[in-house]
Amino acid sequence: MIETMDQPLAAQRVGWKFARLKTMSEAGIDVPEFFCLTGDFFARAVPAATVREALAGLDFTDWPAVRAAAERIRTKIIDGGLRPEDEQRLAEAIAANFADDAVLAVRASMVGARAEEGEDSAEHAFAGMSDSFLYVPVHGVRDAVLKCWASAFNPEALLYRHRHGLSTQDVSVAVGVQRMVFGERSLVLFTCDPTTHARDTVISAGWGIGEGVVAERTPTDHYFVRFGTGEVRGVIADKTTMVTFDDEHGHGVRQAPVAAERRAAAVLSDAEVTGLAELGRRIEALFGCPQDIEATITPDGAVHVVQSRPITLDPARNRVFSSANVSESFPGTTTPMTYSVARRFYWLLNHDYLRRCGVPERELHRLHETMTRLVARVDGRIYHNITSFIRMLDVFPLFDGLRRDWERLVAELDTSYHYSGGERSRRERLRRAAKLATGWGRAAVNYASLRRDFAAFEREWAGIMESRRERDLTGVHPLTLADDYREVWRRAGDLWGVTLVNYQFMLITHKRIERCLERWGVGDSDTLFSQLLCGGEQLRGAEIALSAVRLSEQVAADPELAALFRLKPPQEIWRLLSAGELPEGFTAAVERHLTRYGDRGLEELKLERPNLREEPWELLRLVGQYATRGITAAEMERTEAETRLAGEERLRRALPSAVKRKVLLGLFDRLRTFLCFREAGRYQRSELFGYSKRIIAALGADLHRRGVLAEAHDVFLLELDELFGFLDGSGSTHDLAGLVEVRRGDAARAELRRPQREFSTADVVALSVPEAVAEEPDAGGALRGLGSCPGKVRGRARIVLDPAFADDLDENDILVARETDPGWLYLMLRARGIVVERGSLLSHTAITGRKFGIPTIVAVPGALQRIPDGALIELDGATGTVTLVED
């Protein structure tokens, strides 16, 4: 019934507070030594009838009655004292662990009927409801123990348990008797910002002991450490008083004035704040969730941790957003129309995916609201709503094994926490285990039929688009257009889930490759990974680029055509081509390219941006630039083949086992197939958005003719439901022009904002979006990311925010961007090297660099802020290093 730090100290016996102290001590963290009176010790000394009788029939809405009942229990516990044999055990434990003149801390920790109901559990902190007694002499420990027991029945504690549906009677109390540390400074440290749930460290520190800081009895300094950058910001208070040892009486605490020279001085130095933040991360890693840590610092500078408990993140308030992956498709600001269409696409995509994975219809119905909020528009930019994604995918048991890979490759969270749902009951774990078996069975069926299913998807989608690609919409009634739009999207909703099924297997295979490379000790795996992904079936994006390059070869081979491209602007060349005045073979090849690939373009999913079908002369501009540089399809294909062969040779040297090499190469073959399907699906998505763009543009032109909109293009400042609601009577306003003006003002304000790549909040989202913070360059000017295509090049950095204005990109320039989408491919082929802030080894940028042998580095934090435009830089695609050679 009394356990020391040499014993297990399990939470169900001594409470979470002391179980965690034991865990930290074992990890080498300085925790003052202690022993515990277990909950059984309490149960032996305090008869259960004492509590039951006092609480029988209690009306918890009657506060005076609650206080009276609490006082009756407290009085009986304190007056009841300890049995002689228990008092003897306590005295022996004190004598065995502490000197006769020791000064001790005596702390309570409530132990609930179940582990999750205990004090300092993940669900229930009971913060401040149990009593602690500091600077207690040995002879005062007995009375302090009784008062700790009684504090479990403070009226606030009773009301807390009642309000949370916890038992008010099945409670025991563990008590820790601990060496008292004479701290000069004390602090409370949160490993995440409790107001936003961001992974920034927040520290409140004051002079004296922790009671003054925790109970807010004294003024304190506040320190904020930004996660990732380590930037320290302090808010220094005028600290007039502190809580300290009552040396006059020789025990207990008193309030004392702070020495004049310390009042305005910072309690902690920046170096100490940084060290404490690192300690907090270490403790957080021990327990796997954000922590609320209490510590004191002695005059020698040693930090002694006296408590750590989970910070309770309210899942109803927690929201996490990330643009890390979605910005590849929707870079920068977007219009309300693009957002509303994207939101609908995410819903139908994931609905069909979960349906194909065997999620029952009733679950899909329950998740409907969640799935319509998978993306958000914040300050004009599209973000993944990570919270909604997690809630949706949580119904899918296979996701448990893919969660970390999904978070790394899709969410790419660096600075935010998301709520993961907490511990599951045994019954729920068994239910999920049964679902998991079913899920793997369905996955096996989906895997076996994937190639056939994807071929059927492409075939059916081509049939849907065939009659619509070049359809003239002039004069078609708006209600007819709206009906056709709905029909296309309805049919898409029955097809598109196969692309996510494919993505699921891509993640699984990617994970298996990484594990094999790690298990078999293959060094420099990132570079090798990139090399071995080359080859195989041609990716759709590469196929489109090669088509444009072959057009440039025709231009370069015809002196008259080459001269025309050098002397005439693209619009004039297009006029000549349309009039049939250019060579027939070249004209036919251009028309074939536009028919097949006309929905590709810069920022092609943004409905407000034109694609090649609307501005076909942009294709001719690129063809002319390729012709000038002498790019050839054969050279590009040869580069890719050589990269693949180099990777296979490196694998042969690094992995002598032929069997293991065969396994790895087989996995890479599968991964290349999945990547091929993914890129095909991405272009078909571009076709869906291109079709939507043409329908919506036609509706905008009709409303402009009718005088509803001042300009046809204003239609993109509306949302889809607002547009269709105006047409069919389901809308809530007829003043579309008024809405447009409101949105125009919103767009202007959004352009001035620079929101973070990711953020979290526990408040109204629109009122709690943080501004982005620029990062400082590393010492020596070196930046690091993921090397995606090997090669070392030197050139001038060209910062590109909008590829539409990058026509003068020189062949010696290194493209530096936040992210790219498939429409950037034409521009990327002109660069000497590529550096982007975002992405992974499977992102579009990484794939493009590998396919065409362009040294490429992705995931370089703060590249746009840290690399000056025009600076001479050196890029090493093998090591993932960017060096600033000359500013």
Q: pLDDT (tens digit, 9 = 90+) per residue, 514-567?
A: 889 989 988 766 778 888 888 888 888 889 989 999 999 999 999 999 999 999
- The radius of gyration of the chain's CA atoms, rounded to the nearest angstrom, is 33
What pLDDT sits at residue 253? Answer: 85
Amino acid, single-letter form, for residue 428: E
What pLDDT sits at residue 334? Answer: 95
CB neighbour list of residue 545: distance below 8 Å, 6 or more residues apart: 636, 825, 826, 829, 852
Sort strands 303-310 and 381-385 into parallel, antiparallel or unpaired: unpaired
Strands in 195-346 per DSSP E: 201-207, 221-225, 232-235, 241-245, 253-257, 291-297, 303-310, 319-322
**Residue keyed to tokens 């922590």:** 291
Confidence of residue 54 (pLDDT cuts 50, 70, 90): confident
What pLDDT sits at residue 535? Answer: 82
384: pLDDT strictly greater than 90: yes
% helix, strand, coil for the chain, step of 5: 50, 15, 35
CB 145 within 8 A of CB 90: yes
What pLDDT sits at residue 777? Answer: 46
629: pLDDT strictly greater than 90: no
Confidence of residue 507 (pLDDT cuts 50, 70, 90): confident
- Alpha-helix runs per DSSP H in 467-558: 478-492, 497-519, 525-532, 540-557
The pTM is what?
Answer: 0.78
Q: How far is CA 289 from the centre of its chain?
A: 15
Phi, psi of 201 (to 5 degrees): -85, 135
Cα separation, 35 vs 137, in Å, equals 16
**Inter-CA distances, 451 with 448, 678, 718, Å:** 8, 12, 39
What pLDDT sits at residue 837? Answer: 85
Cα separation, 39 vs 45, in Å, equals 10
419: pLDDT strictly greater than 60: no
Taken in order 697, 703, 704, 710, the sign of the CA dihedral is negative
**Inter-CA distances, 828 with 246, 457, 861, Å:** 71, 30, 20
Summarize the confidence of residues 836-850 as an average pLDDT.
Answer: 76
Cα separation, 513 vs 667, in Å, equals 7
CB neighbour list of residue 121: distance below 8 Å, 6 or more residues apart: 16, 112, 115, 310
Average pLDDT, the chain: 88
What pLDDT sits at residue 124? Answer: 61
Confidence of residue 123 (pLDDT cuts 50, 70, 90): low
What pLDDT sits at residue 788? Answer: 80
Q: Which of residues 550 and 809 earns the better pLDDT score?
A: 550
How wide is the angle at C-alpha 23 spanned by C-alphas 22 and 27, nearest 5°? 115
Question: What's the pLDDT tens digit per position in 313-325?
Answer: 677 778 889 988 8
> Which of 145-154, 161-170, 441-450 has the least mean pLDDT?
161-170
Question: What's the pLDDT tens digit per position in 731-740?
Answer: 999 999 999 9
Sort strands 813-817 and 792-799 into parallel, antiparallel or unpaired: parallel
Angle between helices 478-492 and 426-466 (to 10 degrees): 130
Cα separation, 410 vs 806, in Å, equals 28
804: pLDDT strictly greater than 80: no
Question: What's the pLDDT tens digit per position in 86-119?
Answer: 999 999 999 999 999 999 999 999 887 666 676 7
**Residue keyed to tokens 């320190």:** 223
CB 255 within 8 A of CB 242: yes
Q: Which of residues 212 and 170 earns the better pLDDT score?
A: 170
549, 562, 552: which is closest to 636 by C-alpha? Answer: 549
Kindly list the structural domains of the chain, giving each domain's residue range(s) and its CATH number in brackets, ordered by start. 2-179 (3.30.1490.20), 185-310 (3.30.470.20), 320-522+656-752 (no CATH), 779-886 (3.50.30.10)
Is 175 in a helix, a strand, or coil? strand
Question: What's the pLDDT tens digit per position in 18-32?
Answer: 999 999 999 999 999
776: pLDDT strictly greater than 60: no
Q: Which of residues 422 and 89 earns the better pLDDT score?
A: 89
Diameter of the chain measured on Cα atoms: 111
Q: For a pLDDT cut of 90, what percent of the chain falls above it?
A: 57
779: pLDDT strictly greater than 60: no
Question: What's the pLDDT tens digit per position in 641-693?
Answer: 898 999 999 999 999 999 999 999 999 999 999 999 999 999 999 999 999 99
Cα separation, 628 vs 621, in Å, equals 11
Helix (H) or strand (E) holding 273: helix 270-287
Cα separation, 384 vs 497, in Å, equals 18
What's the token pair of residue 593? 């390219």
778: pLDDT strictly greater than 60: no
What's the token pair of residue 280? 């907090």
Phi, psi of 150 (to 5 degrees): -65, -30
How wide is the angle at C-alpha 258 spanned by C-alphas 257 and 260, nearest 5°? 115
Summarize the confidence of residues 174-181 as an average pLDDT.
Answer: 95
Cα separation, 522 vs 156, in Å, equals 59
What pLDDT sits at residue 427? Answer: 74
User: How deeply is 140 buried, as exposed, middle or buried, from its count of CB atoms within 10 A (0-12, 13-18, 19+)?
Assistant: middle
360: pLDDT strictly greater than 50: yes
CB 512 within 8 A of CB 667: yes
How many other CB atoms sit within 10 Å of the CB of residue 612?
Answer: 24
Amino acid, single-letter form, for residue 204: S
Summarize the confidence of residues 592-613 as an average pLDDT.
Answer: 92
Partners of 759 in beta bridges: 321
Summarize the confidence of residues 783-787 as an average pLDDT.
Answer: 84
127: pLDDT strictly greater than 60: no
